Structure 1
Amino acid sequence: MVKKVKVYALSTCGWCRKTTEWLKKNNIRAEVIYTDRIEDPAEKEKLSAEARAKAGRLTFPTVVICDASDECVITGYDPAEMERKLLK
């Protein structure tokens, strides 16, 4: 089953960096969106609102894992939870 992974992150966030490094180390493809690098204010607000809606609040990193039947949201750097959801 293919899982789609999207990470809402800040380019200056150490926990975001650790999250993306963990994903790379485990050969997991992810779409990483650095919201602080988006120049268009409307697009930045849209993506921030999207992350907020997924997590219930705006926090970084926010990892969204989707498969055909489910969506899981992980907030913060949580390698144990990412392992449970992505490697097992």
Structure 2
Amino acid sequence: MTEIIKVTSKGQVTLPVGVRKELDIDKDTYIAVETIGEYIIMKKVGLKLKELSEVLQKAAKDKGITKKEIEKAIGKARKEVWA
């Protein structure tokens, strides 16, 4: 199934209904996104919260992002949202 979708000004895309139904994707579904050359690969993943946390921790570590940097970014985002 190939469909053309448009990226919004916020960088978001909407998955077509047919794709969501075929893969049983709903609002609580996690999707892994990877780039290979000019291609964007999306894959439905079934992660539990602990597994998701481990994946995110590894990704941060691989990129050299420290826990302190993450906490600082969260604090900044909270101030912006709740200001």
Of structures 1 and 2, the one scoring higher in RCO (CA 8 A, sep 6+) is 1
TM-score of the aligned structures, taking structure 1 as reference length: 0.29
TM-score (norm 2): 0.30
Quick check: which has more Rg, 1 or 2?
A: 2
